[in-house]
Amino acid sequence: MRQTLLEEYKKTLKLSNLQKEVLVGLILGDGHIELSPNRKSARLKVEYSIKNADEVTLSVLVSLL
């Protein structure tokens, strides 16, 4: 029952144009979509190497201004 309710709720969720643009930008950069082992869900995963940590932190902070 709970699973059905969750699935119905997920169908009502819509991404704004800005959210879609951010996702596309992340995927074109250092992000990727990762499927769960059961292939019923997915998540956006963004990974950076430690050598780029300062650059990434600065980029995020500047984008918030």
The number of angstroms, rounded, from the C-alpha of 25 to the middle of its chain's C-alpha atoms is 10
Q: Is the pLDDT of residue 29 over 70?
A: yes
| 31 within a domain of the structure (yes/no) | yes
Q: Please report the pLDDT score of residue 7 as a whole number.
A: 85
For the segment 24-49, the average pLDDT, to the nearest whole number, is 82
| 43 within a domain of the structure (yes/no) | yes
Say how many domains are in the chain. Answer: 1
Q: List, in sequence order, every residue forming a beta bridge with 45; answer none if it has no partner.
A: 32
| 47 within a domain of the structure (yes/no) | yes
| 42 within a domain of the structure (yes/no) | yes
Query: What domain range includes position 43?
Result: 15-64
Q: Please report the pLDDT score of residue 10 as a whole number.
A: 84
CA 47, CA 29: separation in Å to the nearest integer? 10
The whole-model pTM stands at: 0.44
CA 47, CA 32: separation in Å to the nearest integer? 9
Q: Please report the pLDDT score of residue 12 as a whole number.
A: 92
Q: Please report the pLDDT score of residue 47 as a whole number.
A: 76
